[in-house]
Amino acid sequence: MVAAPQRAGFQHDHTTGDHALLTKPGLARPVIVPQWDELPDFIVSTNLRTAGIGRKDYIALLGRGGRRQARHRPS
């Protein structure tokens, strides 16, 4: 989930353990992204809300990566 916010202007500040801290001028707090293979939906939605990125915009940012970034579990 780090690549999409970076495409939206966020900068990687640092990583502590397995958590990346992303910042952007004008935001009240940083976005903290766990570097796990799969993220629970609540972490993704909380980080999108903190970042001010809508779901459709996030999907568009993922699409700009040139490769599939999200893993989907079979139903």
Map out the domains of the chain as residue ranges.
3-63
What's the CATH number for 3-63? 3.30.920.30
pTM for the full predicted model: 0.75
User: In this structure, what DSSP letter does residue 18 have?
Assistant: T
44: part of which helix (H) or strand (E)?
helix 41-51
- The pLDDT tens digits of the residues spanning 25-45 come to 999 999 999 999 999 999 999
pLDDT of res. 68: 46
